[in-house]
Amino acid sequence: MTSSEVWNRATAERYDAEEGERTSAAFLAPTLDFLAGLAGEGRALEFAIGTGRVGIPLCERGVPVAGVELSEHMLAVLRRKADEDTLPVALGDMTSTRVPGEFTLVYLVYNTISNLLTQDEQVECFHNAARHLAPGGRFVIELGVPPLRFLPPGQTAVPFDVSDGHLGFDTFDLVEQILVSHHLTRDGDDGRYRRGASRHRYAWPAELDLMARIAGLTLERRLADWNGAPFTQDSPQHISVWRKPS
């Protein structure tokens, strides 16, 4: 078992509803175009596949998809939408769980590698991706860039969403490279809010490139989003693609 926090039943049951915008066809189209293009005629493997937000529609595009998922509750939600024959998923962690066969694409979306709370585990995630890849295959990660430039001296918190239904902010431990995402979410129409928090280990793009080199992968390209915008010093996230040598 890794240091990742495991999603419980209540969180899994409301995940799709709370991520409603990210589950829409319009939102997912660039992501699916990008991933399907890299998968080509081969198979794709999604680490931390969750409820199948990306894996299921990618499978519906004709890409054979398999998954790895740590939370049995998230997997239970996925199983209501796709059976094992349609989308096989191994219950386990993304640092060591092995799925049979080779893949032309292994991918991690929506900051999921940050669920691994140590550098060693993140390195092992790269190793596990490399083990699954066929020669010439790609490993793709979507990850936010730590917004540390927004931290004035003495401040440890950065808000990322202030809206009627949700207040979200991150607090940072700059020594351990740990951020905690705090959420206050409106729960019903009676004025109540539900509080939640999750821990993550942030990593810089250059640090991920070194992890990739340790695993025998080389950086092929880095973009600012799934539409292919150039990555710059002001980009809040990156889509990085590393390639296994042929």
Q: Give 26-73 pLDDT, tens digit per residue.
A: 999 999 999 999 999 999 999 999 999 999 999 999 999 999 999 999
**Sorting pLDDT into bands at 50, 70 and 90, what band is 242?**
very high
* pLDDT, average across residues 165-171: 91
Instruction: Say which residue, 82 or 154, is predicted with more confidence.
Output: 82
Shared domain check, 184 and 208: no
Sheet of 157-162: strand order equals 157-162, 166-173, 178-186, 193-201
Answer yes or no: do 18 and 86 share one domain. Answer: yes
Single-letter code of the amino acid located at 114 = S
Q: Do 46 and 153 have their domain in common?
A: no
Give the pLDDT mean for 111-133.
97
The range of the structural domain enclosing residue 152 comes to 148-198
| Residues 77 and 111 placed together within one structural domain of the fold | yes
- Whether residues 137 and 164 share a domain: the answer is no
What is the pLDDT at residue 19?
Answer: 79
Same domain, yes or no, for 83 and 179?
no
Strand pairing report for 157-162 and 133-144: unpaired
The DSSP H or E segment spanning 11 is helix 9-18
Same domain for 20 and 126? Answer: yes
Q: What is the DSSP letter of 95?
A: T
Are 40 and 153 in the same domain? no
Assess if residue 4 is contained within a domain: no
Distances (CA, A) of 38 to 58, 105, 137, 221: 12, 7, 8, 12
Question: What CATH number has the domain bearing residue 217?
Answer: 3.40.50.150
Statement to judge: residues 219 and 232 lie in one domain: yes
Which tokens in the block code for residue 25?
Answer: 């066809």
- Label residue 227 by pLDDT band (50, 70, 90): very high
Residue 167 domain-assigned? yes
Residue range 91-101: average pLDDT?
Answer: 97
The kind and range of the H/E element at 180 are strand 178-186
Task: Quickly state the pLDDT bin for 212 (edges 50, 70, 90).
Answer: very high
63 and 31 in a single domain? The answer is yes
Within a domain: 3: no
Number of compact structural domains in the chain: 2
141 and 156 fall within a common domain: no
On the question of pLDDT at 1 being above 70, the answer is: no
Whether 1 maps to a domain, the answer reads: no
Return the pLDDT at 73.
Answer: 97
| Same domain for 210 and 170 | no
Work out the end-to-end distance of the chain between its first and last CA atoms, rounded to an integer number of angstroms. 32
Mean pLDDT estimate for the chain: 94
Q: Give the per-residue pLDDT at 47.
A: 98
Under the banding of pLDDT at 50, 70 and 90, the label for residue 192 is confident
Whether 23 shows a pLDDT value over 90: the answer reads: no
Q: Is 216 exposed, middle or buried (0-12, 13-18, 19+ CB in 10 A)?
A: middle
Q: Residue 219: what pLDDT?
A: 98
Q: Cα–Cα distance between 214 and 48 in angstroms, integer?
A: 22
Closest CA to 74 of 121, 134, 7, 122: 7
Q: Let me know if residue 30 belongs to a domain.
A: yes
**By C-alpha distance, which of 24, 9, 22 is closest to 74?**
9
